[in-house]
Amino acid sequence: MKFDQPATTNPIDQLKVIGYPHDRIDGPLKTTGHAPYAYERHDIVADPAYGFILGSAIAKGRIASIDTGAALAAPGVLKVVTWKEAGPLAKSKNHTAHLLAGPEVEHYDQAVAIVVADSFENARAAAKLVRIDYQREPGRFDLSQQVGRAPPKGASSGEGSGSEPVDRVGDFEAAYASAPVKIDRSYSTPDQSHSMMEPHATLAVWNGDRLTVWTSNQMIAWAVRDLSETLKIPKENVRVVSTYVGGGFGAKLWIRSDAVMAALAARAAGRPVKVALTRPQIMNNTTHRPATVQRIRLGAGHDGKITAIAHESWSGDLPGGKPETSVSQTKLLYAGANRLTADYLATLDLPEGNAMRAPGEAPGLMALEVAMDEMAEALGQDPIAFRILNDTQVDPEKPGRAFSHRNLIGCLELGADRFGWSRRNPRPGQVRAGRWLVGMGVAAGFRNNLLMKSAARVEVTRDGRVVVSTDMTDIGTGSYTIIAQTAAEMLGVPMETVTVNLGDSSFPASSGSGGQWGGNNSTAGVYAACQKMRDEVAQKLGSNSADIHFEGGQVQMGDRRIPLAEAAGGMSVEDAIEYGDLGKTYQQSTFAGHFVEVGVDAFTGEVRVRRMLAVCAAGRILNPKSARSQVIGAMTMGVGAALMEDAVVDKRIGYFVNHDLAEYHVPVHADIPHQEVIFLDETDPISSPMKAKGVGELGLCGVGAAVSNAVYNATGVRVRDYPITLDKLIERLPEVA
Amino acid sequence: MKPFTYERATSPAGAAAAAATAPGAKFIAGGTNLLDLMKLQVETPSHLIDVNGLGFDRIEPTPEGGLRVGALVRNTDLAADPRVRRDYAVLSRALLAGASGQLRNKATTAGNLLQRTRCPYFYDTNQACNKRRPGSGCAAIGGFTRGHAVVGASEQCIATHPSDMAVAMRVLDVTVETVRPDGSTRAIPIADFHRLPGDTPDVETALTKGELITAVVLPKPVGGRQTYAKVRDRASYAFALISIAAVIEPDGAGRVALGGVAHKPWRVAAADAALPQGAKAVTERLFADAHPTTENRFKLPLVERTLAATLAEHKAEAA
Amino acid sequence: MYEAVDAELSRRGVLAVGAASMAVSVAPAVGSARPAPELQPSTAHVAFEVNGERQALELDTRTTLLDALREHLHLTGSKKGCDHGQCGACTVIVDGRRINSCLTLAVMHEGSRVTTIEGLGSPGRLNPMQAAFVKHDGYQCGYCTPGQICSAVAVLDEIRAGIPSHVSADLNAPSATTSDELRERMSGNICRCGAYSNIIKAMSEVAEASGTPA
């Protein structure tokens, strides 16, 4: 189905099933421990061998020699595979670092070997017996040394957002120089780890020259492609299955070493092998969100209208890598005639930087939306009024191009009302509740809506069940449920009648999960397949689609009512949603107003979030329960980004030092208060037949800045270097004798 | 994890003797720290002696009016004991501020005292660490030191002791009772139990080879207002940046011990004596010989301000 | 301040940080091709009860309770999120107490009674806490969920038993199921999807229904 005109009224608009906060259909399996994740497929392979990956002990250099003799001789060991034994291997174009090192080492904990043994215990112990001599070379590990020197580099984030190296509109320098009110601020965000709860894991099985991997991956078709490229085997010989994925947040957009090493190990050992990365390996063996240094300059008239806006960002990656596109939202969020945005890329020999939830916008808004707060203060304006004043309904770089639908103002105004913004004291450091200095902060949330082709197969069984199959993944997003809702709505059957099969490359290729595009696109693909089913049923019944209704498990044609099982039993159709250029003609984005109240301990500087509210404008909400969960989860991640998450680089050794969950802090229960989410009641017919957009990343975009602005309002101390930990506040807090 | 043999001990002296004779032997009780480190081969015992069957799992009154806490009493049970809650609130509070509910259910009194540092260089076997491999150097020095010691460290090691419980025990002046391989017993004052790193950061306590902790004796109740203030980067389930165990008398006299600042719970007699003069005076004495790094210098004002909060609460309550 | 010392890696060479090229090696203590005797795994017999069923196993002594459950008994509901007691995904209830099954050896559980998520309820017969998690969407990816639920069930028991927490204002007063208490007590179970707010709702509902003091 080609989608190249805005949607008109369609069966989804009935809203009998869509839009209803249905419990997740995978809930009973997940809450009882019966949902099988990749490492748990005892049903597939009863007796796999166990692989354990050994990572590089140096950040950069080469392996001078490697001796696997002791490991091979250790009890239970079946094979040891290094680059020497791996056979032909390539690097897929989607990977910056090789997934198996040797003899070159590109980063710390890069896989150098896998030990295969009859038990996990034996494999893990034997991995320590591999003897390696390294030639270490000096590496570049310090982003701050390259700020101001690194070359401009544009890129797609790989998850939707993107930027040209340098974008200019009007004459920024002249406008900024003549602006009566201006600020020039620098901010930094640290490296962050996805830290999803399920470690990367793969079970690999070879059948002749055909490989099947049960793995934990967000993008099945990409996984097939990249395994094929990496192992140099035809795509047709690769099957990838990810039925349940224990979180990804971007870490599982692309296959990682577990998949490749499991495949190599299984081939070498001649039997199925399963591998999971250990928690400490996840930080340095896989990818992370790169640190940024950002400079923002804003110039405005006394009336508060922005006349000049510049956002520049520096980040680093391995040679051949990509920048964190932190400036992308600044092209679109606010009006202003004179603009400059630029991303600069430093070369760093740290582990591979890559997409993490809302790449670009997440760190970009942590800077931009604090700068907006600082500018409002410089102007003596309320931060919400200042944002509203500078709203735009068109792409500021291309004023002829409108937003498909944009209600940022509605988010901010409703949020202000619900959150009690009028009670905020604009003078910082004034509100005290016992030991706590209390403050409120706001930030705008912004994230683009991405359109991706997505296919599905729909079958009606002879007993009237509807079976939907697509390689879409459910990474906690609720895909199983909203896909069932879509099929139920389209074919007029109860939810219980629908079976959803996901995450298998033998199913039609979907959009996959990433960039908050999964919900809208994968359901639009299911819509397309269901529409095709409706057309074929109509045709079979000698009617046309316009005169036929699907309702209550029956097909209705004039006075005739035929059970769906009878009308369509045994039929199977496949179709995809494919997009025209509505994504180019219109700017499609999602919007939020994030509101946060914090308390800062007047003595210790500890920051604790007291209240949170997000108001989101993101098109039709397909399932308000799972959508709300996506948003509160993202808000939680935003609290982590603002207050604690920091993958610390040892700049001498070149690795992330705090590489486990005890030392890399993500929020725990006690950090998170009750959270409110409001979805504006809207549809976006330009987005897809579902009229929906994404929310999963929007919920994160802006949260960090709202926390930061609240900390400033509470204390009068502006910390521009994330995370806002107490050591950065303590010496600037008021005396407490 | 290296292979090891496993035995269940049946008598304390027998356990101690086995530990002294079997090469590479270690006791295991809760296991929450030892197994963590064994998985990384930071610890590599070749023989484990499971002491859980030895029965040191009771809390009993002593003739002196205190409590004898069995070495195997779980952190949860010690924190929840009504006598501890009433008379040794600082201990209850310190325990409850530590780890998680799950870990407190498993972790033992003796094991908590023997917790090893959370220094990330100690935890990564690719890095130099004099504590893990004597003579290899200290990668922490000059590295990421935000959580490290600001006082009492050496050129060999700047690690901190991670226990909360031990800080409360230090302020209470408990005694650690042990049995040795020859069957003899001794009582070690907590002040002497943990060592500063010096030139042998791998030697962390006063225990000798095979010596087994059997109990911790709490002195008779010390009274006062007892608090444990733990400051950390997240609201729960995190090690302390700094912590303060305090017992303050109505007249403002009292005692304080610090966690998160040194290789052992940190207490200075002159600082105790300065309590009536306020937080600044106490902090100056606690840190008279401090050598912070740029990254952990904040611990000094943090201790002063946290103590100020404790003293302010005390004053407010006394008023 | 102390002098920086180069990493462990350099111990075989005389090398300084910043040298253009340095030879370093990482080697095990044992270098020969034949394993030393102490590398032979040791096995031990252990019997315990899991979800009401007696299990007798002959296990490598290194096997954690978690791996015994997952790899030997195929009870994969208990999850391995970190294997170091830092996440809580492996939480099970042993002899009435919740513990991290990753940080205990299976052989240390002779005679224990173990309850895993599979023992609390099944897809067709959810336990009230499991049902409340579904109703309140107290999970997303589902990986931390079994641990959260085992912990949640045990937390309500701990409150009933009068065990205080870090946020209990009065150590000597009975415990209650306030949101603050639940949040603190559940903090050993990390959920990166961020379902915390919903989990507390689910627990509060179960606590109220079961008459746990609020």
Q: How many CB pairs (< 8 A) connect B and C?
A: 164
pLDDT for C34 equals 47
Region A527-553: mean pLDDT is 95
User: Is the CB of residue B4 less than 8 Å away from at least one CB of chain A?
Assistant: no
Among A280, A303, A334, give the residue marking a domain's end. Answer: A280
Whether residue A397 lies in the annotated active site? no
Cβ separation of A625 and C200 shorter than 8 Å? no
Q: How many helices (H) and strands (E) does chain A have?
A: 17, 32
In this structure, the answer to whether residues A649 and A532 fall within a common structural domain is no
For residue range B34-68, list pLDDT tens digits in order: 999 999 999 999 999 999 999 999 999 999 999 99
pLDDT for A720 equals 98
For residue range B243-258, list pLDDT tens digits in order: 999 999 999 999 999 9
- Whether residue B101 is predicted with pLDDT greater than 80 in this model: the reply is yes
pLDDT for A737 equals 58
Per-residue burial over B223-247, b if 16 or more Cβ lie within 10 Å, else e, is: ebbbbbbbbbbbbbbbbbbbbbbbb
Region A37-42: mean pLDDT is 98
- CA of C11: which chain B residue's CA is closest? B136
For CA atoms A500, A505, A509, A513, the dihedral sign is positive
- CA of B237: which chain A residue's CA is closest? A668
**Chains contacting chain C through 3 or more C-beta pairs under 8 A:** A, B
Region A432-437: mean pLDDT is 96
Whether residue A298 is contained in a domain is answered as no
Q: Looking at beta carbons, which residues of chain A come within 8 Å of C186?
A: 669
Whether residue A285 is contained in a domain is answered as no
In this structure, the answer to whether residues A594 and A732 fall within a common structural domain is yes
For residue range A644-674, list pLDDT tens digits in order: 999 999 999 999 999 999 999 999 999 999 9
Nearest Cβ partner for B2 among A125, A644, A670: A125
Q: What is the CATH number of the domain that holds A266?
A: 3.90.1170.50
Q: Choose from B50, B105, B233 for mutation: most chain C CBs within 10 A.
A: B105
Whether residue A663 is contained in a domain is answered as yes
Among A280, A305, A340, give the residue marking a domain's end. Answer: A280
In this structure, the answer to whether residues A562 and A456 fall within a common structural domain is yes
DSSP state of C132: H
Q: Looking at beta carbons, which residues of chain B come within 8 Å of A435?
A: 309
For residue range A242-272, list pLDDT tens digits in order: 999 999 999 999 999 999 999 999 999 999 9
Among A555, A580, A605, give the residue marking a domain's end. Answer: A580
The mean predicted confidence, pLDDT, of chain C is: 87
- Whether residue C26 is predicted with pLDDT greater than 50 in this model: the reply is yes
Number of domains in chain A: 3
- Whether residue B268 is predicted with pLDDT greater than 70 in this model: the reply is yes
| Domain boundary assignment for chain C | 42-120, 123-214
- Whether residue C35 is predicted with pLDDT greater than 70 in this model: the reply is no
- pLDDT band at residue A736 using 50, 70 and 90 as cut-offs: confident
User: Is the CB of residue A637 less than 8 Å away from at least one CB of chain C?
Assistant: yes
Per the structure, the complete domain to which residue A553 belongs is given by 2-35+451-580
Please give the CATH architecture assigned to the domain spanning C123-214. Orthogonal Bundle (1.10)
Contact between A81 and A154 (Cβ < 8 Å): no
pLDDT > 70 in chain A, percent: 99
Whether residue A699 is contained in a domain is answered as yes
In this structure, the answer to whether residues A512 and A526 fall within a common structural domain is yes
Q: What is the CATH number of the domain that holds A717?
A: 3.30.365.10
pLDDT for A227 equals 98
pLDDT for C39 equals 77
- pLDDT band at residue B200 using 50, 70 and 90 as cut-offs: very high
In this structure, the answer to whether residues A704 and A656 fall within a common structural domain is yes
In this structure, the answer to whether residues A647 and A624 fall within a common structural domain is yes
Nearest Cβ partner for A125 among B1, B127, B237: B1
The mean predicted confidence, pLDDT, of chain B is: 97
Q: Looking at beta carbons, which residues of chain B come within 8 Å of C88?
A: 100, 102
In this structure, the answer to whether residues A603 and A535 fall within a common structural domain is no
pLDDT > 90 in chain A, percent: 96
What is the number of residues in chain B?
A: 319
In this structure, the answer to whether residues A484 and A438 fall within a common structural domain is no
pLDDT for C16 equals 32
Whether residue A80 is contained in a domain is answered as yes
In this structure, the answer to whether residues A718 and A649 fall within a common structural domain is yes
pLDDT for C2 equals 35
CA–CA dist A322, A330 (Å, integer): 19
pLDDT for A484 equals 98
For residue range A384-397, list pLDDT tens digits in order: 999 999 999 999 99
How near does any CA of chain A get to the CA of B128, in Å?
11
pLDDT for C212 equals 76
Q: For A87, left (φ over 0), alpha (ψ -120 to 50), or beta?
A: left
For residue range A136-182, list pLDDT tens digits in order: 999 999 999 999 999 998 777 666 666 678 999 999 999 999 999 99
* Cα-based distances in Å from B80 to A574, B72, B227, C164: 62, 15, 16, 6
CATH number belonging to domain C42-120: 3.10.20.30
For the question of an ipTM over 0.85, the answer is: yes
How near does any CA of chain C get to the CA of B29, in Å?
9
Contact between B20 and B212 (Cβ < 8 Å): no
Interface of A with C in 83-142 (CB under 8 A): 119-122, 125, 128-138
In this structure, the answer to whether residues A440 and A508 fall within a common structural domain is no
Whether residue A635 is contained in a domain is answered as yes
For residue range A103-134, list pLDDT tens digits in order: 999 999 999 999 999 999 999 999 999 999 99
Cβ separation of A669 and B241 shorter than 8 Å? no
Whether residue A160 is contained in a domain is answered as no
Q: Looking at beta carbons, which residues of chain B come within 8 Å of A115?
A: none
pLDDT for A134 equals 98
Q: For A576, left (φ over 0), alpha (ψ -120 to 50), or beta?
A: beta
In this structure, the answer to whether residues A722 and A615 fall within a common structural domain is yes
Whether residue A611 is contained in a domain is answered as yes
In this structure, the answer to whether residues A573 and A665 fall within a common structural domain is no
pLDDT for A499 equals 98
For residue range B272-311, list pLDDT tens digits in order: 999 999 999 999 999 999 999 999 999 999 999 999 999 9
CA–CA dist A36, C77 (Å, integer): 8
pLDDT for A156 equals 73
- pLDDT band at residue B92 using 50, 70 and 90 as cut-offs: very high
Q: Looking at beta carbons, which residues of chain B come within 8 Å of A643?
A: 233-234
Q: What do you get for the CA distance between the two ends of chain B, in Å?
A: 57
pLDDT for C18 equals 35
Cβ separation of A725 and B233 shorter than 8 Å? yes
Q: How many CB pairs (< 8 A) connect A and B?
A: 103
Cβ separation of A604 and B126 shorter than 8 Å? no
